[in-house]
């Protein structure tokens, strides 16, 4: 027969100061755990969102990132005729792009950070369909105008609608702000690729990458085979999604390792705290336990009872921890992506699965923290305990 | 002293609890050390930056190059002692994951500008003689088990592409533990020779040494003025400013670390304070007897504080000790992701101080309760 | 000589007009009201009274553990009631030996260390302390158990160690609060015999609170606490030898 749960609940309430300590210890650990994971998650999600399944990215063979790439105008013309590339009224949906980084002061610190500037073709919005101009308008080809991603506009000084900034020796007018659905592009500024090439003093007809919109995601295979086997071209073809997923690996790895270590260390500390609380609970309630044993509850029931109590405490701690970090969801922060040298803004991304992981973590801590004391409680010789007035 | 026995006897009263509390302290101090080391690593550039060094980059974009021809003009500016230039090579050794920084260096001036990166003279001489020679930092050499005499291939898609091969002729060490020992250097002459004509004669950035750190502002301005309105405008700043700005791009690392640290310490305070409180509560009648015998209220406070401090010190030292052991291993796990992790003496010292402070604070409340406890009411509880 | 009417002359312990009032749950409770007491050196006095009558309160006041609402307590010429808290603490260490009903001994210290405790407050050297402790333990007959911990001792032995601790610094008087309350009949007898010996052969002054008339009978005088003052009871007979084997 099981010891009634109400006993545990009331006992916990009676010793609330100790219990609060254990609860807070677990809450703190779970909070940090969830926050760290959501940071890594958010970073990855931002980059992954940048890719569409229907797009393919074409770069010079062997390039690990866009910045390394180099595709000539002739190659672009050949690529345009590739199989499976979608077309619309104006022609094949192909955009050749130039990518660079430029120093612009951060609003937060006033010091320069590298913002990624992307020179695009005029038809880029037809290819990256999830990007929409939210304020103002698209830039006019040939002019030193730019549109800023919504995160870039919030992070860097001067990127507000109608403003003109000096960058790379040119006067750029910010004619629009775009919303790229929470992807990496939100941290970029876009302009005409020819103008950018000019300003960066690059050879006029060389681009860093070509992005194409395919008729359907399944056209990828055919397109890739065709382009890579073409002797006139020296390119790699990657699904846009895969490319961006790869771009995030270093930073995600760093955050995950660091965050994971911190969470583990904190968990050990929290478990110690829980153990302390549970052990002293057992000590203080020695007589009660003995009485219950004498009444007929067996050792198993005692173990179970204390285990349940530990789980109860850790569950509450876990829930509190999750609730406390929940407001962080959507909070943007920015950091530098090693692989592209540029700053990228991303948001904490807390998802239900993540919260569940947090709760599970709390429960695991509760089990570890509750098991040994529970066993100790059950193994107290009844007679001794009763004698202990 | 004669009260030591009482204090230690009390500590050993419940061994499991003692171990757990010691463990909590150890864990918290370990975490503190870890966080401090990581924060340190992020800010490393700024710390090791030479006070008398300036960095000159292309104003338009850091990835744009600057003409080599600027060098002599910069040297003529008063206050400039010597100058060297670097290019970022950015090749791949076997796998993208094996990242380490590769620089094309100006052999003639490298050591004058970066004296803290030490190369034995004989190895340097060998380097100068071998066009395809390379000098690698001790950490990177250790990571890939390279020895002097190895031939290393590095692939690149830039600079005309292909596989470049180098002979390891030297290994450099940093003068201080904080110095970066991950770099890979090879010769400018070799680089210039192999790259396509179109991009010859361009450096990535200049690093120069000043006659005096006080000249930093004036010389920076002079350099940037010199090249204003030219094809490649420059931006000159001190090495520490450059590094600091670089770190700032990582976002609020400090804030993140500080908040975690605060959460940890608050939790630690709670745990140990609670443990002390429980321990004092259990001993109420005993403490009453002490007071009845004639021990003063303050003596009782002293006992409680002493216990708390001893736990804090032992636990804290244990945690810091584990940190000293673990940090190098962590550094290896994060290889390439962060600069080397160094557990410096100031960090250890600060950790000890924090442990003591927490010990005092967590013992204070129960101690005061014990001090204030009235013998009469405590005994009545019996 | 023991008097309760305030008419004593130069006695060791002199209490005049003692009042003690508590506040509990908003009410005022007058436990002691105008109590008088005179105890001369070498006396063995038992205090009896119903539960809540204030026996323990009186003992606490006499031992300097509590402060009266009004009145005075003078011990060996020192007026205790006027002392500051720290002086009182020092006074207590010098003049009073306590024997409570239970929880007297510190469980993590052995018999020797427990008895030594009061001496740690003095300036005696380690060797001197050792000598005093060994003497005290011999008096109570537990010299061979010096290194045992309380959990290794029986209830009676624990109380004997307590007595050793109470006498080790040679205090002016001993205060006992139900010293045998927790013991079985046989051990209780042994403890009382020990206390009697301390009174007869070592000239100790002992004030004892008890609810057990058989125990009280072993004292020279029994006083009853009634309506806040002490009243003399029947003069106790010396217990017939052999009652408590």
Tens digit of pLDDT at every position of chain A (389 positions) = 677 777 777 777 777 777 887 888 888 888 888 888 888 888 878 877 778 888 888 888 877 777 777 788 888 888 888 888 888 877 788 888 888 888 888 887 777 778 888 989 878 888 888 889 999 999 998 888 999 998 888 888 888 888 898 877 778 899 999 998 878 888 899 999 888 888 777 777 788 888 888 888 888 888 888 888 888 888 888 888 888 877 777 777 777 777 788 888 888 878 887 787 788 777 777 777 777 777 777 778 888 888 888 898 899 999 999 999 998 887 777 777 766 667 777 788 888 999 999 999 999 988 888 888 888 877 777 666 565 44
pLDDT of residue B251: 65
Of the two residues A200 and B205, the one the predictor is more confident about is B205
Of B2, B292, B299, which to mutate for an interface test with C (greatest number of C Cβ within 10 Å)? B292
Chain A residues 121-160 with a CB less than 8 Å from chain B:
none
Whether C245 shows a pLDDT value over 50: the answer reads no
Phi-psi region of A289 (alpha: psi -120 to 50; beta: other; left: phi over 0): alpha
| ipTM score above 0.85 | no
pLDDT of residue B252: 67
Question: Cβ–Cβ of B252/A257 closer than 8 Å?
Answer: no
> Measured between alpha carbons, how far is A157 from A378 in angstroms, rounded to an integer?
65
Whether C208 shows a pLDDT value over 90: the answer reads yes
C2-244 — its CATH code?
3.40.50.300
Type and span of the H or E element at B293: helix B284-293
Residue range C107-127: average pLDDT?
89
Strands (E) in A168-283, as ranges, are 170-179, 188-192, 206-207, 209-213, 235-239
Give C139→chain B minimum CA distance, Å.
20
Burial class, A166, CB count within 10 angstroms (exposed 0-12 / middle 13-18 / buried 19+): exposed
Cα separations (Å) of A276 from A281, A358, B17, C99, C153? 8, 22, 6, 34, 30
Whether B273 shows a pLDDT value over 90: the answer reads no
Question: Cβ–Cβ of A335/B271 closer than 8 Å?
Answer: no
Chain B residues 113-152 with a CB less than 8 Å from chain A:
none
Please report all neighbours of A, defined by 3+ CB atom pairs within 8 A. Answer: B
Neighbouring C-beta atoms of residue C153, cutoff 10 Å: 18
What is the domain partition of chain B in residue ranges?
4-45+251-380, 60-232
> Measured between alpha carbons, how far is B300 from B286 in angstroms, rounded to an integer?
11
Please report all neighbours of C, defined by 3+ CB atom pairs within 8 A. Answer: B
Residue range B300-326: average pLDDT?
91
DSSP secondary structure, A330-359, as one string: T-EEEEEETTTTEEEEEE----HHHHHHHH
Of the two residues C129 and B51, the one the predictor is more confident about is C129
C112 touches chain B (CB under 8 A): no
- Confidence band for C234, pLDDT divided at 50, 70 and 90: low
pLDDT digits (tens, 9 = 90+) for B74-131: 999 999 999 999 998 878 888 877 888 899 999 888 988 888 889 999 999 999 999 9
What is the domain partition of chain C in residue ranges?
2-244
Give A222→chain B minimum CA distance, Å.
26
pLDDT digits (tens, 9 = 90+) for C62-95: 988 888 999 999 988 888 888 888 888 888 888 8
Under 8 Å between Cβ of A266 and A27:
no
Q: Choose among A147, A143, A145: nearest CA to A131.
A: A147
Name every chain A residue with its beta carbon within 8 A of the beta carbon of B277.
17
> Measured between alpha carbons, how far is B252 from C110 in angstroms, rounded to an integer?
57
pTM over 0.80: no
Chain C residues 171-230 with a CB less than 8 Å from chain B:
none
pLDDT of residue A215: 86
Token pair for residue B300?
Answer: 């009782």
> Measured between alpha carbons, how far is A103 from A117 in angstroms, rounded to an integer?
10
pLDDT digits (tens, 9 = 90+) for B170-193: 999 988 877 888 899 999 999 998
Whether C207 shows a pLDDT value over 90: the answer reads yes
For A60, which of B59, B155, B157 is closest by C-beta distance?
B157
Name every chain A residue with its beta carbon within 8 A of the beta carbon of B64.
100, 200-201
- Confidence band for C242, pLDDT divided at 50, 70 and 90: very low
pLDDT of residue C241: 44
pLDDT of residue B12: 85
> Measured between alpha carbons, how far is B85 from B77 in angstroms, rounded to an integer?
16
Give A314→chain B minimum CA distance, Å.
15
What is the DSSP code (8-state) at residue C19?
E
pLDDT of residue A48: 75
> Measured between alpha carbons, how far is A157 from A154 in angstroms, rounded to an integer?
8
- Confidence band for C238, pLDDT divided at 50, 70 and 90: very low
Under 8 Å between Cβ of A91 and A213:
no
pLDDT of residue A259: 79
Q: How far apart are the first and last CA of chain B?
A: 32
> Measured between alpha carbons, how far is B349 from B355 in angstroms, rounded to an integer?
10
Residue range C216-228: average pLDDT?
87
> Measured between alpha carbons, how far is A359 from A321 in angstroms, rounded to an integer?
9
């Amino acid at each position: 027969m099981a010891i009634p749960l109400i006993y545990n609940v009331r006992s916990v309430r009676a010793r609330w100061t100790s219990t609060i300590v254990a609860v807070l210890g677990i809450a703190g650990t779970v909070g940090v755990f969830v926050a760290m994971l959501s940071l890594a998650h958010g970073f990855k999600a931002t980059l992954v969102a940048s890719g569409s399944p229907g797009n393919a990215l074409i770069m010079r063979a062997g390039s690990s990132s866009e910045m390394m790439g180099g595709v000539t105008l002739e190659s672009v013309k050949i690529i345009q005729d590739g199989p499976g590339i979608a077309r619309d009224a104006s022609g094949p949906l192909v955009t050749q792009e130039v990518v660079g980084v430029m120093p612009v002061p951060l609003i937060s610190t006033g010091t320069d950070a590298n913002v990624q500037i992307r020179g695009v073709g005029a038809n880029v919005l037809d290819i990256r369909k999830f990007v929409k101009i939210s304020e103002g308008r698209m830039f006019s080809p040939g002019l030193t105008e730019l549109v800023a991603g919504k995160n870039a506009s919030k992070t860097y000084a001067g990127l507000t609608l109608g403003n003109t900034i000096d960058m790379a020796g040119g006067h750029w007018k910010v004619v629009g702000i775009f919303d790229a659905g929470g992807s990496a592009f939100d941290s970029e500024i876009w302009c005409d690729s020819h103008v950018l090439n000019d300003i960066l003093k690059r050879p006029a007809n060389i681009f860093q990458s070509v992005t194409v919109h395919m008729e359907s995601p399944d056209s990828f295979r055919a397109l890739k085979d065709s382009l890579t086997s073409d002797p006139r071209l020296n390119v790699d073809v990657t699904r846009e999604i895969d490319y961006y997923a790869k771009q995030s690996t270093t930073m995600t790895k760093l955050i995950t390792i660091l965050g994971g270590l911190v969470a583990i260390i904190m968990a050990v500390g929290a478990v110690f705290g829980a153990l302390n609380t549970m052990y002293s609970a057992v000590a203080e309630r020695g007589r009660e336990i003995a009485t219950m044993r004498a009444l007929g509850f067996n050792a198993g029931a005692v173990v179970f009872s204390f285990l349940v109590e530990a789980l109860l405490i850790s569950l509450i701690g876990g829930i509190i921890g999750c609730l406390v970090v929940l407001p962080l969801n959507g909070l943007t922060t920015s950091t530098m992506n090693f692989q592209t040298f540029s700053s990228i803004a991303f948001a904490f991304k807390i998802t239900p699965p993540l919260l569940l992981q947090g709760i599970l973590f709390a429960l695991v801590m509760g089990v570890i923290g509750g098991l040994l004391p529970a066993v100790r409680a059950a193994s107290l010789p009844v007679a001794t305990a009763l004698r202990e007035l | 002293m004669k009260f030591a026995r009482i204090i230690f006897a009390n500590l050993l009263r419940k061994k499991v609890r003692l171990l757990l509390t010691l463990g909590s302290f150890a864990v918290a101090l370990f975490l503190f050390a870890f966080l401090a080391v990581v924060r340190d690593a992020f800010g490393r550039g700024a710390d090791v930056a030479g006070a008398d060094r300036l960095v000159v980059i292309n104003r338009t974009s850091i990835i744009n190059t600057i003409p080599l021809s600027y060098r002599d003009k910069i040297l003529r500016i008063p206050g400039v002692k010597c100058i060297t230039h670097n290019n970022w090579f950015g090749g791949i050794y076997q796998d993208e994951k094996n990242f380490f920084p590769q620089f094309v260096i100006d052999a003639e001036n490298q050591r004058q500008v970066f004296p803290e990166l030490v190369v034995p003279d004989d190895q340097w001489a060998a380097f100068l003689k071998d066009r395809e020679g390379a000098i690698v930092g001790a950490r990177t050499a250790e990571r890939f088990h390279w020895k002097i005499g190895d031939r290393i291939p590095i692939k690149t898609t830039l600079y005309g592409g292909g596989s470049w091969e180098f002979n390891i002729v030297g290994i450099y060490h940093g003068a201080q533990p904080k110095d970066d020992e991950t770099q890979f250097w090879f010769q400018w002459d070799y680089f210039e020779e192999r790259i396509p004509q179109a991009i010859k004669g361009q450096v990535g950035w200049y690093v120069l040494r000043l006659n005096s750190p006080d000249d930093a502002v004036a010389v920076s301005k002079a350099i940037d003025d010199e090249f204003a309105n030219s094809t490649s405008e420059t931006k000159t700043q001190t090495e520490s400013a450059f590094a600091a700005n670089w770190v700032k791009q990582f976002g609020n690392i400090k804030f993140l670390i500080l908040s975690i640290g605060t959460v940890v310490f608050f939790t630690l305070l709670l745990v140990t304070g609670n443990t002390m409180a429980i321990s004092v509560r259990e001993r109420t009648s005993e403490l009453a007897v002490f007071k009845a015998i004639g021990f003063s209220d303050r003596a009782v406070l002293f006992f409680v504080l002493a216990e708390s401090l001893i736990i804090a010190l032992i636990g804290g030292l244990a945690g810091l000790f584990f940190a000293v052991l673990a940090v190098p291993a962590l550094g290896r796990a994060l290889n390439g992701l962060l600069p080397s992790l160094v557990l410096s003496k100031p960090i250890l010292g600060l950790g000890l101080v924090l442990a003591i402070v927490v010990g005092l604070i967590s013992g204070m409340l129960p101690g005061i309760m014990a001090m204030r406890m009235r013998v009469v009411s405590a005994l009545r509880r019996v | 000589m023991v008097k309760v009417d305030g008419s004593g002359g130069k006695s060791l312990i002199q209490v005049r007009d003692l009042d003690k009032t508590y506040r509990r749950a908003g009410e005022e409770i007058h436990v002691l009201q105008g109590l008088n007491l005179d105890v001369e050196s070498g006396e063995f006095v038992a205090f009896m009274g119903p539960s809540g009558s204030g026996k323990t309160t009186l003992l606490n006041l006499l031992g300097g553990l509590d402060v009266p609402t009004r009145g005075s307590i003078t011990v060996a010429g020192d007026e205790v009631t006027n002392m500051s808290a720290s002086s009182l603490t020092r006074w207590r260490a010098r003049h009073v030996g306590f024997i409570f009903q239970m929880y007297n001994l510190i469980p993590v210290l052995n018999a020797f260390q427990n008895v030594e405790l009061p001496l740690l407050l003095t300036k005696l050297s380690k060797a001197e302390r050792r000598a005093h402790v060994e003497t005290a333990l011999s008096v109570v007959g537990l010299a061979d158990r010096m290194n045992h911990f309380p959990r290794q001792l029986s209830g009676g032995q624990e109380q004997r160690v307590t007595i050793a601790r109470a006498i080790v610094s040679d205090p002016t008087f001993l205060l006992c609060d139900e010293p045998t309350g927790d013991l079985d009949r046989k051990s209780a007898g042994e403890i009382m015999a020990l206390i009697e010996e301390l009174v007869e052969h070592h000239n100790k002054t002992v004030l004892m609170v008890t609810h057990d008339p058989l125990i009280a009978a072993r004292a020279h005088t029994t006083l009853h606490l009634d309506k806040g003052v002490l009243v003399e009871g029947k003069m106790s007979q010396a217990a017939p030898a052999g009652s408590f084997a």
